[in-house]
Amino acid sequence: MKRTVFFISDGTGITAEALGRSLLAQFEGIQFELITQPYINNAEKAHKLVQLINQTAEKDGSRPLLIDTIVDQSIRSIISLSNAMTMDVFSTFLAPLEEELGAHSSYSVGKTHALTKEKEDTYKARIDSVHYALDNDDGARTHHYDQADLILVGVSRCGKTPTCIYMALQFGVRAANYPITEDDLLDSELPKALRPYRHKIFGLTIDPERLASIRNERRPDSKYSSLKQCIREVEEVENLYRRHRIDFIDSTHHSIEEISTRILSQAGIERRFSPR
């Protein structure tokens, strides 16, 4: 089954898309074609959108789903004329909140993403954390580990870099990463640069066949990407983790979002801010 989904907003569309994707993820057997339409903020744009929705309904043979965060009631009235199953995020949640809080919502466009002093501070912290992750990627620098919230370790190509950048961008976590190399695995001790920071270390592991596939994209038909080499490295790095009582998780079947959240939860690391 295939259905078209429109995320509609008179602002950026980020809120509608984020909530919509979370809801749609619960329906694994359906293929969704996702279309985001931001800044639908006047009647002309609304009428053009209605035409697009109706054309899509005719082409698909089923009405599209429409998830919106439209604030302007006149624009919502136009869009309601379309042949779509409509879910209005704001009215669904704001009305019960108004009743509970005994106060009226401002119903203002762009409130979620408007830049305030608090958001300026969050933005700076986000950028600083991303810079830290990039500056301390792949063991390039180790003399700033005293500033790290977390040092992510693992064999090459197991997902350390994207995980560190995601944690920096979404949660403001200062995450460095250090690759455990073949030479490191010859020694039963932790690499010298990591020893003073044992309490900050968290490990990643990965299925050897998946690792070999990833490495083959980078260096095909090499010792580095051979299944035998990958099996040996994964076995030895897991033994290293156990020997030094380092918590670790398997990255094979999880998204970066899930890997990051699991790490922060297991490591007890506090988020500096909530994700965007």
Which tokens in the block code for residue 217? Answer: 């994209």
**Is pLDDT above 80 for 219?**
yes
Residue range 117-267, CATH number: 3.40.50
**Assigned CATH class of 2-101:** alpha beta
Confirm whether residue 154 is marked as ligand binding: yes
Q: What is the mean predicted confidence (pLDDT) over 51-62?
A: 96
Distance of alpha carbon 20 from alpha carbon 190, whole angstroms: 44
Q: Is the pLDDT of residue 276 over 60?
A: no
Whether residue 159 is annotated as binding a ligand: the answer is yes
User: Residue ranges per domain, the chain?
Assistant: 2-101, 117-267
Mean pLDDT, residues 139-148: 92
Q: What pLDDT, on the 0 to 100 scale, is given for residue 94?
A: 77
Interval 155-170 mean pLDDT: 94
CA dist 155 and 236 (Å) reads 10
**CATH topology match: 2-101 vs 117-267:** yes
Instruction: Report whether pLDDT(108) > 60.
Output: no
The answer to whether 158 is a known ligand-binding residue is yes
156 labelled binding-site residue = yes
Q: Is 230 annotated as a binding residue?
A: no
Residue 50 has pLDDT above 70, yes or no: yes
Decide if pLDDT at 205 tops 90.
Answer: yes
- Least-confidence region, from 90-94, 188-192, 204-208, 259-263: 90-94
CA nearest to 133, candidates 172, 180, 184: 172
Task: Of 59, 104, 65, give the one whose Cα is nearest residue 82.
Answer: 65
Report the chain's mean pLDDT, rounded to a whole number: 90
How many whole angstroms separate alpha carbon 140 and alpha carbon 177?
9
Indicate if the pLDDT at residue 48 is higher than 50.
yes
The mean-pLDDT minimum among 9-23, 42-56, 111-125 falls in 111-125
**Residue 211 binned pLDDT confidence (cut-offs 50, 70, 90):** very high
Q: 146 versus 71: which is more confidently predicted?
A: 146
pLDDT at 113 over 60: no
Ramachandran region of residue 159, left (φ > 0), alpha (ψ -120 to 50) or beta?
left
State yes or no: 161 annotated in a binding site. Answer: yes
Which tens digits make up the pLDDT trace of 221-275?
Answer: 999 999 999 999 999 999 999 999 999 999 999 999 999 999 999 999 988 876 6
pLDDT of residue 105: 75
Specify the higher pLDDT residue, 18 or 59: 59
